[in-house]
Structures are given as structure tokens and as C-alpha cells.
Amino acid sequence: MQQRSGQQRPDQQRPDQQRPDLQRLEQPPAPRGARVSRRGLIGGGAAAAGLAGAFVAGHASAQSPSGTSAGTSSYAFRGAHQAGIVTPAQDRLHFAAFDVTTGSRAQLVALLRAWTDAAERMTRGLPAGGGAVEGAPDLPPDDTGEAIGLPASGLTITFGFGPGLFRDAHGRDRFGIADRRPAALAQLPHFPGDVLDEARSYGDLCVQACADDPQVAVHAIRNLARIGFGTVAVRWSQLGFGRTSTTSTSQSTPRNLFGFKDGTHNVKAEQASAVDEHVWVAAGDDPAAEWLAGGSYLVARRFDMAIEVWDRQTLGDQEDSIGRTKGTGAPLSGGGEFTRPDFTMAGSHGPVIPEDAHVSVVHPDHNGGARMLRRGYNFVDGTDALGGLNAGLFFLAYVRDPRTQFIPIQAKMAKADALMEYLQVTGSALFAVPPGAGAGEHVGQALFT
Amino acid sequence: MQQRSGQQRPDQQRPDQQRPDLQRLEQPPAPRGARVSRRGLIGGGAAAAGLAGAFVAGHASAQSPSGTSAGTSSYAFRGAHQAGIVTPAQDRLHFAAFDVTTGSRAQLVALLRAWTDAAERMTRGLPAGGGAVEGAPDLPPDDTGEAIGLPASGLTITFGFGPGLFRDAHGRDRFGIADRRPAALAQLPHFPGDVLDEARSYGDLCVQACADDPQVAVHAIRNLARIGFGTVAVRWSQLGFGRTSTTSTSQSTPRNLFGFKDGTHNVKAEQASAVDEHVWVAAGDDPAAEWLAGGSYLVARRFDMAIEVWDRQTLGDQEDSIGRTKGTGAPLSGGGEFTRPDFTMAGSHGPVIPEDAHVSVVHPDHNGGARMLRRGYNFVDGTDALGGLNAGLFFLAYVRDPRTQFIPIQAKMAKADALMEYLQVTGSALFAVPPGAGAGEHVGQALFT
């Protein structure tokens, strides 16, 4: 980690700022209007007070970066696995998918290194940049500033690679990695109920930023997009405001916008053997893609909910569609939230839990034991043209192999699940999520070496 | 307040559920599939356990409504003024504007009563409905459920009336209140830089829901929209994730998406004389609209920011556009955040604070002493077609008279403010915000009596 320094001059840029594409961001426009001697101090720090013009003396020490000692509210960026997967799910999300606009492998690798540096800094509650801007009012700031003064807020930043990184829409192997494409990394098939919007689907790269403060998550995506200007372009992005799953046994089960508890039987971080079995790609899983060992696959699906239609259904119909009670989340066969559903219990006109109830359709017992680590979020994106809430569930799930753990279940759900009456899938993407970056490495380094 | 009761039968509905329009929501669709005897318990409670079918016994007491004793995190709905104006600004917003679709004054008044009841309940952390649904699986729930288990979260719900309520686009006085229209309540004039989207502008009614948890704010708007089905339709809605102003001296100044502190010199709740002078409409202000005394006017403007362009400006240019430093928010003339700007201080090529700096253009000293109580929020609504963040500032300001406190300042800003280079106004609306509802009253009652 480079320490910020008020004395660093513009010509002492970090190597990644000298790459042609990234450098475009750093070109100083002509100064506008009256300029006086003044030191911009982004994020505060100790070095600048002595450099500042006399009339701004005193402002330098008023702000110091917070969150670097935030304890449980910050997570290490580096490790065997990327953070943001089994990390206890934070409450807020900003997710972005990018298209790579360069054809240069070197530029792509340089971007991954710059992103790794910035992500490590931001997850520590530091500004995205190393501080070269201090004392340099004629350069754009290397942090956009809206998170100054906010703590790390449990920020995690998780990167993924889409199929297009390995072979683009024209079949080109732009970066010389086509032969290392994981066999499971292909566009998802079309499912009944899919009405995909291209502008909400696919992407060569993805970044999942989760935090306890949405301003911190937004700040992370924005700065990564800024750093990537000229190398990548945002294809789509999605904010989520309420998580719909628990990834730790320490968390209580949240509710989705159907008003029901969601994620009761999610794979939990504490269940190490379940995580190993269902989430992490193991060495030997895919001989062509050993670089992915310790990683995972991320399925992202935007489920638009017919909120107003749902809200007019009777409580009984809602509960039949889910297979659980709305109040406590207990299976309709009785007990409490965590009681095992009894799919054989008979009611007056059939099973108490209808066969087309969501909980029955997707239950591991009915899907060869397949489970996922779900990490989705509720979203409301304002109002649609008819005045309905543009709202739903941004489904995120990490799996060891989407071919067995997601595709068959989604296909079955699309055909047989009573909930699908109230759902449309408008966005869809699949990414391979590399393992965590070790010391000195950039994310995904094993793919490029 | 009606207590929830597990024994209330569907035919014992509250009076407001018997109004023709609202009743449409309550019509039970035909039961679907297998139904068994089961008591839906939304929000938990004590009464249902004994009524529940044996196989679900045990789930009833697992959930109890939270937040009713949440102390500082709940605000009284009733009072001389509506909550959500001088209330310390919460961090999250869902704002909705509605068109009234009925021509019936009685239905409009009944809606305001139903909204008042539901708002009072929700701000206490209770479900929106009185609980008639308990024991009634064949009715739609009278609360949508996604906030069950969440505390009141400081929720405030603030209602306003648009010009169209008094006279619609065809000049009709639908509700017999045209002669009581406040003189200041007219559509805002067109300003340079306005590129208004009709689908993000105007509205007969508005509801501002602010809370510390976005799921609680969304829940409030959704349930009010649900209750209003058939009487009103959502025209537009906007989520905000980070406040941009302080309304209490107890709050630190947040940052907007330009990365700068915003709202430093906002009118604060603790400044009683400033609030009386600048925020509340006084008796005698408008003889035709005495019903508005104790209320205010709400200006809502959606400022789209050219984020990617802004991020490429030098720090110096950014600070010149604002007139403050990015780090501490001190005026460019020196001192700390709360130091008074010195607009006369000379720099090398003109004033240190440029004349077109935002802080100079909008400063009360340059606007006849006019001030506002700002209560805006940052927003990011995903990505636009070019891959830029669809982001900006959802400006909300409460003023005693928009003709003197907003329109001249906005006109000047649109012409002369350096910031406008990075801003487009895509949504705009003005509302008269009635005073608070007293005991037994509905919001806006004085307008209809």
C-alpha cells in the first residue's frame, strides 16, 4: 500500500496511472478562472497543513479518514477467497457489469491491478487513490469524495469474469485466454418467464459492492468505473437496499418484497463443509480452469415483481404460493421458521404444502440435494409507466457449478413454481468469480499467468 | 387506534374499508388450490395461537411487532406541524407523487383519513392495517409484510397537495376547493437548464417517507399506494439513499455526489426563529388559504449530475465551482466549514471565491436574506444508455413562500451558477404541505371543512 503524501508531485504518478487509457483521466484541463495557491486535501491527513496557503490554514486536521480501525465493520480484501461471498451479508448493494472496451491484454491486466489496489484501499475505509492529488489542484481528484468521513462500513468488493472476457460476441479471443474458459461459464439458457433486457444483462466483468451504507457501496462502484475509463464501460448497474438472505448464522432472516422471509435455509458461512461442497470450486473440478480453484460462480438475475397484483392476492393464496406462513415463515406443515417442511402432510384437498409452492419446487430434497449460497437484494427503481412500483428481487447466488446447482432448478421453477405468476426475469448474467488475491497479487492473476 | 384481534371477521371491517374504491382491494379472489384451516398472523400478536390449526401451533408467538417502544427512533405523527420537515433528517427516502383518479370529494377525503390512520400506525412501527386480516386467509393482507420485525426506524410520513388538486389540467375544480388554493401554489416556471420529464414531474398529492431503513420507507409508500388503489395512482416515485442536508445541529454535514459537503448553513430545527421566519406559513400569510397556516411549501427537483464529466475536472475547478474546499468544506476564503465566506477577498485573478461559485450565487447575502430548509437526498438509479451513472441530487426544500425563497434563487442559479454545467433538472414539482393533524383529524382536514 502506498501511503498518501502531500509532497507527491504530479509527475510522480504510480505506474498504473501512466498507462495510456487510464492516463486520459489524469490529463489536466486548462485552469478555469481565478486560481490561488490552495492545497486540496481529500480525505484529510497530516502532511498538508504546512503546505496550505495561509488563508486555508486550519482546515487540514479537521477531517481524518475513519473506518480504518472500524473493527468488525471492515473486512480484509485479500485472502484465499474473495470477500463478499460468505461474508455476513451487508444490508446495501451496488452491483455493476462492465464491458471491456480495449483489446489489449496488458491494459486489461493493468486495470485488474489498479482495481485491486483501489478495492483494497476502499475496503479499509481509505480513498480510492493513493493521494497523488494532494498538492495538485490541477489534477482531477483520485477519489470522488462522497465517502470522505464515512467509515469502512463493512465494504466488500467482489470481482467476476463473464463469458465475453474469454471469447467476445464475434468469437474473438481478445485476451488470449479462450482456452482457459471454465466449461460452466457460458451464457445461461433461455428460461420460460425470461423477458431479458439486454441493457440489464450480461457483461465481461462484474463488481459486487456490498456495505452497510449505500453511499459507501456507490462510492466504490463509481471510483472503479472512473479508474476504468477508457478500458471498460459500465454496461448496467443495480442498487439493492435490503438483503434477502442470510449468509451467517448470526443474522436473522430478512424479508423480500413479497413480504415473506427469504433465505431461511441458505448455505451459511459457519457450515464449512456445506460451503466447500456447494460454493467453492475445488482443484480438479475443471482441468482447463485451475485458476478458478477457490473461486465460485455468480448467478445474477433480476426478478421484477408484479407488486400491485401480488398485494391483491389473499393471504391464503400468498402463503400457498410460497409454502410458508407470512408471519413467522414457518412451513405450512407447521412448526417454526427452521422446522423442516413436511411435503407429505395431507390437507383437505391435497398436500398442505402445495406441490407448486416455491418452497417445494426449489427444495434440495426435490433437486438432488442442490443448494446455493444466495446473496440477493430487494430493489425499487422508482415507478413504471403504469404507476406500478418498479421493484423486485435482484437475485445473486454463488455456486460451485451452475450447470447442476442453478440451471435445472431455475428451469423447474420457471415451469412449475406458483410464484412465477408474479415474476418476470428482466436481467440475467453469469460470472466466474476468481479466488481471492494473495499478497502482492491482483484479482484474477492466475488466469493471466 | 384499533387493536389487532384474531377474532375479527371479514364482515367486521373498519368503516374506511367499506368505501367503494378502497373496498375493491378487499374483494377476495376465488380460493386457489388446497386450503386448510390456518390463521395468517401478520406482524405477530398474542391472540392467534389458540385459534391456529394444531399443525401450525407454535408459530404465533415467535414474532412480535417491534419498534413501538423504539424511543428516539420513532416520531409522533400528529402535532402542530407535520413530522419529516424539521425532524432530524433520516438517511433514507422514498418519495412518491400521486394523481387523483376519482372526481369524488368524499372519496378523496376518505383516502386522506385512511392514509392518516395508516401513517400513524406505520410511524409507530405497526403494520399499515388494523389487523382485520388475522383469521381471514381469504382476504388480502392489510399490510404487505416486508417491514414485519423491523423497528419504526425513525419513519416520518409527510403529505403535500399539488396545484392539480385545486384545479386540474382542464381547469376543473373537481373537489370544490379551487377558491382555497394558496396563491403561491402554481406550477413552477420553466428555468434554463430544465429538461423536465413529465413522468418525473408534478402530481396532485405527494408523500415523503423518510426513515433510517430504506425497507421501512419503501414499505410506507407501497402500503399508502395500496390503500389508495382506485382513488389515486402513483405518478412517479424516487428513492434516495443518502441525505444531503442537516436539519438539526446534532447532525454532521453529509456529502452530495459531487463529493462536497452540502447543507452546511441549512435552517436547523433548533433555530426556532429562523424556522418560523423561513419555513412555516403563518396565519395571515394568505387570507384565501388559512388552512395552510402551520404548514409549508415543498419544492421537489431532480438534479441529474454529469458524474463522469465532473469526475474528470481538476480539484481546483471543482472547488471553484462550489466555492468551498472538497476536504473540509471550508469556504475558499479560509477558515473551517462553518466560517462565513468572504466574497470580497481578492485572489490573483479576481475574488478567491469566484462570483459564479455555487456558494456565492445562492448565499442569503446575495438573495435578500432568503433561506430554505433543505432536505434532499442523493440518488443513483442505475445506469443510463451510455453507461454513465444515472445519479444526482433529489432536491427537497421547505419554504414559507416559494415565490420569494425559491423561484428567484433557482432562476439566478440556472443563469449564473458554474455548477449548472454539470446539472440537468429532469423532475420538478411544488406542493403545499398542510399543518399537522390534531387528535382525531385527518391530514389536511382544515382544507375540506
pLDDT tens track for A244-301: 988 998 888 999 999 999 988 899 988 999 999 999 999 999 999 999 999 999 999 9
Chain B, nearest residue to A222 by Cα: B389
pLDDT value at residue B265: 87
> Which residues have C-beta within 8 Å of that of residue B267, sequence separation ≥ 6?
B247, B274, B275, B278, B279, B371, B372, B373, B374
Report the C-alpha gap between A444 and B186 in whole angstroms: 58
Verify whether the Cβ–Cβ distance A35 to B92 is below 8 Å.
no
* Closest approach of A338 to chain B, Cα-based (Å): 11
Q: Which amino acid is at A121?
A: R
Decide if B345 is inside a domain.
yes
Residue in chain A nearest B347 by alpha carbon: A36
* Residue B13 maps to a domain: no
Q: Which of B22, B41, B56 to mutate to test the interface with A (most CBs of A within 10 A)?
A: B56
Are A255 and B55 an interchain contact pair (Cβ–Cβ within 8 Å)?
no
CB within 8 Å: B320 and A33:
yes
Query: What local confidence, expressed as pLDDT, does residue B56 receive?
Result: 24
Name the packing angle between helices A214-227 and A105-123 (round to 10°): 150
Closest CA to B51 of B136, B135, B141: B135
Is the CB of A40 less than 8 angstroms away from the CB of B242?
A: no
A360 in Cβ contact with A331 (< 8 Å): no
Does residue A406 lie within any of the structural domains?
yes
Q: Which own/partner pairs from B440-444 qualify as long-range (CB within 8 Å, at least 24 positions apart)?
A: B441/B78, B441/B116, B442/B109, B442/B112, B442/B113, B442/B115, B442/B116, B443/B82, B443/B112, B443/B115, B443/B116, B443/B119, B443/B159, B444/B112, B444/B159, B444/B161, B444/B291
Given CB atoms, is B364 within the 8 Å cutoff of chain A? no
Distance CA B426, CA B410 (A): 14
Cβ of B351 within 8 Å of Cβ of A34? The answer is yes
Chain B nearest CA to A29, separation (Å): 7
**Backbone phi, then psi, for B223, in 5-degree steps?**
-70, -35
Note which residues in 401-430 of chain B have CB less than 8 A from chain A.
none
B430, B187 in Cβ contact below 8 A? yes
pLDDT band at A48 (very low <50, low <70, confident <90, very high): very low
CB B211 within 8 A of CB B90: yes
**Residues 112 through 131 of chain A touching chain B, CB cutoff 8 Å:** none
The total number of structural domains in chain A stands at: 1
- Inter-chain CB proximity A259 and B146 less than 8 Å: yes
Q: Check CB contact under 8 Å for A58 and B348.
A: no
pLDDT in tens, A293-332: 999 999 999 999 999 999 999 999 999 999 999 999 999 9
- pLDDT given at position B135: 55
Which residue of B37, B51, B221, B325 is the best one to mutate when testing the A interface, meaning the one whose CB has the most A CBs within 10 A? B325
C-alpha A74: how far from chain center:
16
Residue A449 CA to residue A36 CA, distance in Å, equals 48
pLDDT average, residue stretch A169-183: 97
The pLDDT, as a whole number, for residue A136 is 75
d(CA B104, CA B119): 22
Residue that wins the pLDDT comparison between A36 and B359:
B359
| Maximum separation of any 2 CA atoms in chain A, in Å | 84
Tell me if B36 sits within 8 A of A352, measured CB to CB: yes
φ and ψ at B428, to 5 degrees?
-160, 140
What is the full DSSP assignment across B20-56? HHHHHHHPPPPP-S--------SS--SSSTTTS-GGG
This complex has an ipTM of: 0.84
Nearest CB partner across the interface for A215, out of B215, B378, B383: B378
Collect all residues with Cβ–Cβ distance below 8 Å to B311 and sequence separation of at least 6. A25, A140, A141, A144, A222, A226
How are beta strands A389-399 and A92-100 bridged, if at all?
unpaired
Tell me which residue has cell 432472516. Answer: A253
**What pLDDT is attached to residue B110?**
98
Q: Is A268 exposed, middle or buried (0-12, 13-18, 19+ CB in 10 A)?
A: buried
Query: Is B156 within the bounds of a domain?
Result: yes
Query: Which positions 128-157 of B are in contact with A (Cβ < 8 Å)?
Result: 133, 136-141, 143-149
CA distance A260 to chain B (A): 7
| Chain B residue with Cα closest to A252 | B149
pLDDT above 50 (res A35): no
Is the CB of residue B10 less than 8 Å away from at least one CB of chain A?
Answer: no
* Residues from chain A contacting residue B235 (CB–CB below 8 Å): 383, 387
Q: Does B157 fall in a domain?
A: yes
CA distance B317 to A139: 9
* pLDDT for the residue A135: 54
Please name every residue paired with B397 in a beta bridge, in sequence order, or none if there are none: B299, B374
A31–B148 C-beta distance less than 8 A: no
What residues of chain A lie within 8 A of the CB of B337, using their CB?
Answer: 62
B327–A42 C-beta distance less than 8 A: yes
Cell of A409: 432448478
Element at B105 (helix H, strand E): helix B105-123
> What's the rounded Cα separation, in Å, for the pair A5 and A42?
11
Residue B319 vs residues B261, B292, B356, B359, B395: alpha-carbon distances, Å:
11, 40, 12, 10, 21
- Say whether pLDDT at A33 is over 50: no
List chain B residues with CB under 8 Å of A29. 312-314, 317
* Cβ partners under 8 Å of residue B214, min gap 6: A214, A241, A242, B92, B94, B239, B241
A-proximal residues of B, 44-83, CB under 8 Å: 44, 54-60, 62-63
Contact A259 B62 (CB under 8 A): no
Q: Let me know if residue A395 belongs to a domain.
A: yes
The reply to whether residue B41 touches residue A92, judged by beta carbons under 8 angstroms, is: no
Phi, psi of B324 (to 5 degrees): -135, 160
- Residue B53 inside a domain? The answer is no
CA distance B331 to B345: 11
- pLDDT at residue A52 is higher than 80: no
* A 287-316 residues inside an 8 A Cβ radius of B: 307-308, 311-316
Among A140, A260, A345, select the one facing B314 at the smallest CB separation: A140
Shortest CB distance from B241 goes to which of A215, A258, A354? Answer: A215
The CA-CA-CA angle for residues A234, A381, A315, to 5°, reads 140
Grid cell digits, residue A439 = 499478497
Output the DSSP codes for A196-256: --GGGS--SEEEEEEESSHHHHHHHHHHHHHHTBTTEEEEEEEEE-EE---SSTTSPP-B-
- Cβ-proximal residues to A300 (8 Å cutoff; 6+ apart), any chain: A95, A97, A206, A394, A395, A396, A427, A428, A429, A430, A431
Give Cα B343 distance to the centre of its chain. 34
The reported pLDDT for the residue numbered B349 is: 87
For chain A, positions 331-360, list CB contacts with chain B under 8 A: 332-337, 345, 347-352, 354, 356
Separation between Cα atoms, residue B202 and residue A64, nearest integer Å: 42
Average pLDDT in chain A: 85
Cα–Cα distance measured from residue A409 to residue A402, given in angstroms and rounded to the nearest whole number: 10
Which residues in chain B land under pLDDT 70?
1-72, 131-135
Q: Are A35 and B316 in contact (CB under 8 A)?
A: yes
Q: Is A382 in a helix, a strand, or coil?
A: strand
Chain A residues closer than 8 Å to B28 by CB: 314
Are residues A66 and A149 in contact, defined by beta-carbon separation less than 8 angstroms? yes
Distance CA A406, CA A89 (A): 20
CB contact under 8 A, A44 and B333: no
Whether residue B22 lies inside any domain: the answer is no
Q: State the residue for C-alpha cell 486555508.
A: A56
Looking up cell 466466474 gives A432
Are A148 and B255 in contact (CB < 8 Å)?
yes
The closest CB to that of B137, out of A42, A58, A315, belongs to: A315
Full domain range(s) for residue B228: 92-447
Contact B301, B425 (CB under 8 A): yes
Q: What is the pLDDT of residue A16?
A: 33
CB B378 to CB A348 under 8 A?
no
- Band the pLDDT of A81: cuts 50, 70, 90: very high
